[in-house]
Amino acid sequence: MGTTLIFLRAFLSICCGFAATSVAFADDHRNPAAWQELFNGKDLDAWTVKIAGQPVGQDKYQTFRVEDGLLQVRYDNYDGFADQFGHIFFQQPFSRYELLIEYRFVGTQVPDGPAWAQRNSGVMLHAQNPAAMKLDQDFPVSIEAQFLGGLSDNKRRPTGSVCTPGTDIVLGDSLAKQHCSYSSSATFDGDQWVQMRIVVDGNREFQHRINNEVVMTYRSPQLSAGTANAKSNTQLALSQGFIALQSESHPIDFRRVALRALNQE
């Protein structure tokens, strides 16, 4: 490695902080941690479904299915959506990792789905155990890395944003007051594949990248003070949890969901 390149990397680390170091980890061939394919392309045996109004593990309308090597979210067996928001959880919790997801929105939304949920989905990070969710609970307590698709109306609709059901994050230098915070990503119209990579560093920084471009950073995930979950926990800080994919009333495909651990300190 030349002297100039060494100096440049050191300069980027000092000036750009977490964004520079996270990108270096993700693309550095000297850290060839193996990717763990959370979705094996064949079945959902390693996953657990929780849909509002149904007991954990039940998916009576086959919302989540595997076809043609894709993890598909579909609503063709529904009589109506009726706010039956759902999630499918990987079988174990994680703390420090990089997550890679390739998704695409397809088709049209269920007719009675909420307007805000059109071409809207996401992956829940540091989520609560699905077994701890109430029967009618819409969303797990978690940090949501949000997927948004453009509506082909020439209006900006960035993906890779962040929402906080039952949680809070520090955005910039202060606690974010809004439920969702928009990323700086481009808008992706139509049924095109999008790659999202997320660096999750325990209770420290999170970074979202869309097609390898950094679009969102935040830190210090924590339970929202005053909520039932916060009252039952002496520790508000969130440092680990489950990973879950959403069903929010618009069909979506996943062709890859993979994870690799961050280097231990």
User: What does 172-217 look like in DSSP terms, one character per residue?
Assistant: TTEE--SSEE--SPPP--SS--EEEEEEEETTSEEEEEETTEEEEE
Helix or strand (DSSP H, E) at 256: strand 252-261
Q: Inform me whether the pLDDT recorded for 68 exceeds 80.
A: yes
Is residue 87 within 8 Å of residue 63, measured between CB atoms? no
Q: Inform me whether the pLDDT recorded for 44 exceeds 70.
A: yes
Q: What is the pLDDT of residue 225?
A: 86
For residue 235, the Cα-to-chain-centroid distance in whole angstroms is 23
Q: Inform me whether the pLDDT recorded for 29 exceeds 50.
A: no
Dmax over Cα atoms in the chain, in whole Å? 65
Q: Inform me whether the pLDDT recorded for 26 exceeds 70.
A: no
User: What is the pLDDT averaged over residues 139-149?
Assistant: 98
Residue whose C-alpha is closest to residue 247's, from 102, 49, 94, 112: 49
Q: What is the pLDDT of residue 114?
A: 97
Domain boundaries, the chain: 1-32, 34-261
Q: Inform me whether the pLDDT recorded for 244 exceeds 90.
A: yes
The tens digit of pLDDT for each residue in 184-231 reads: 999 999 999 999 999 999 999 999 999 999 999 999 999 998 776 655
CA dihedral 27, 29, 33, 34 (to 10 degrees): 90
Q: What is the pLDDT of residue 13?
A: 37
Provide the pLDDT confidence category of residue 9 given band limits of 50, 70 and 90: very low
User: What is the pLDDT averaged over residues 115-124?
Assistant: 98
pTM (predicted TM-score)? 0.86
Q: What is the pLDDT of residue 23?
A: 38
Residue whose C-alpha is closest to residue 139's, from 238, 65, 247, 220: 247
Of 96-105, 163-172, 177-186, 223-232, where does mean pLDDT reach its minimum?
223-232
Q: Among the ranges 47-56, 172-181, 255-264, which has the highest mean pLDDT value?
A: 47-56
Q: Which CATH architecture has domain 34-261?
A: Sandwich (2.60)
Of 76-85, 118-127, 218-227, where does mean pLDDT reach its minimum?
218-227
Residue whose C-alpha is closest to residue 146's, from 215, 52, 75: 215
User: What is the pLDDT averaged over residues 80-104?
Assistant: 98
Instruction: Give percent of the chain with pLDDT exceeding 70.
Output: 84
